[in-house]
Chains A and B, each alone.
With several copies, the nearest count.
Chain A
Amino acid sequence: MSEILSLAGANLISPIILSFALGLIAALARSDLTIPEAVAKGMSIYLLFAIGFKGGVAVSAHGIDQTLVLSLVAGLILSFTLPVLAFGLLRAMTGLSTIDAAAVAAHYGSVSIVTFVAATSVLNGRMISSEGYMVAVAAVMEAPAILSALWLVARSGGGARMEPGLIRELLLNGSIVLLVGAFFIGAITGEQGLADISAFIVAPFKGVLCLFLLDMGLIAGRGLRQSKGVVSLGAVGFAIAMPLASAMIGLGVGMLIGLSVGGIVLMMVLCASASYIAVPAAMRVALPEANPAVYLTLSLGVTFPFNLTLGIPLYLAIAQTVTGG
């Protein structure tokens, strides 16, 4: 226990977490500090490209082992099914309408790439290796949850629109294409490719992540300020209970598949994290009646900081304890 706490403590005083805290505080204090939209988008492109590329290189180096396909399939199934769990929890814990609950559920079945990146960075800092293809699992988990949410609404007789072109749009979403594309470029060019561009995608990575998290903190803080009274205590409880529950499922799945400790932690983080970039945009198209303030507050305002600060070290400690690693 004290080990977990010291781990969490060490995690909390990293530049990454403190940058997020700075953004959060600045926004809550109504500072006019902002990061231009183009710069924020540029950093997110950089992070997706770098993480995808490094994942691909790792696969090219260690080869494709048999758990790769299992992991991808598991990711797919998890992304399809976690929303059902989330939906159930939401109906039990909150008074949200079917549509709002389904929309929130979509976010929790999908993933937050930044949380994934932060977890990778914690693993790297502790010299714990992980399967390179976990980044492909992350990509696979982005979209299916949205379809589950639409199905949940349809089942309840709600007016979810399975718009023509929506599935296509989900699969060809910019972040997925970039992540998967960079993964393949990394897998094809391998160590040689990495050597070519590591001064760009490896060395400054953590620093860029700091500024990106500063921005995330600013957005989360602004969102929290806007959303006073929008979410109930029960909803906040959900936003902490759900990642914990999902992480346990991720733990079980990861062990079943036979992932390394690092891989298990990343699988837990993928399950536990909630999308706040791709899914919100999809929801505006597919479930416009759902209230954005609710799902953004929960996923970006509560679950994201929870995972970033306490979740990741906790998942790591649990994974290490359980696997004896």
Chain B
Amino acid sequence: MQTHIAKRVEIVIEAPLERRLTDALTEAGVTGYSVLPVLGGSGRSGQWTRDGQVGRAGMVNVVCLIKPERLDGLLDAIFAVVKKHIGVVSVTDAQVLRAERF
């Protein structure tokens, strides 16, 4: 099966900023992304959990597969959103099927 080199970018970011982040991704030209729930976690700003929350609290995990050449532009766009906020960004090398999609 033919696979193609890609980058897998995962961003854990505060839920109230989700729309701003995905808007920034779209502007940066990504062809798609997925938003995964996060139940809880811990970091420099303390521990948290989604349990019982009523508002738009907690974090979400936004996953974005892209062509390697788009990475730099994408990270800039992401950083503009997460800069002042709570959140972590990681990038891994990946391979994808159906390269024409990315």
A and B directly contacting (CB within 8 A): yes
A residues touching B (Cβ–Cβ < 8 Å)? 32, 34-37, 40-41, 44, 163, 215, 218-219, 222, 226, 276-278, 280-282, 284-285, 288-289, 292-293
- Output the least CB separation between B1 and chain A (Å): 20
> In the docked arrangement, what's the CA distance between A218 and B47, Å?
15
Interface size class of B (residues with CB under 8 A): 20 to 34
A284 close to B85 (CB less than 8 A): yes
A219 close to B53 (CB less than 8 A): yes
Is chain A's interface secondary structure helix, strand, loop, or mixed overall?
helix
B57 close to A34 (CB less than 8 A): no
| B31 on interface, CB distance cutoff 8 Å | no
Chain B residues whose CB sits within 8 angstroms of the CB of A219 once the complex forms: 52-53
> In the docked arrangement, what's the CA distance between A37 and B50, Å?
6
> In the docked arrangement, what's the CA distance between A293 and B43, Å?
13
Q: A218-B51, A281-B56, A284-B17 are known contacts; what are 15 more A-B pairs with Cβ within 8 Å?
A: A34-B49, A34-B51, A34-B52, A35-B52, A37-B52, A41-B53, A215-B52, A215-B54, A219-B52, A219-B53, A222-B49, A278-B55, A281-B15, A285-B17, A293-B45
Show 16 residue pairs from A and B whose CB-CB distance is below 8 angstroms, ordered by the A residue.
Answer: A34-B51, A36-B52, A37-B52, A37-B53, A163-B20, A218-B52, A219-B53, A277-B54, A277-B55, A278-B55, A281-B15, A281-B55, A282-B16, A284-B14, A288-B85, A293-B46
- Output the least CB separation between B21 and chain A (Å): 11
Inter-chain CB contacts under 8 Å: number: 54
Chain A residues whose CB sits within 8 angstroms of the CB of B47 once the complex forms: 226
A226 close to B51 (CB less than 8 A): no
A40 close to B52 (CB less than 8 A): yes
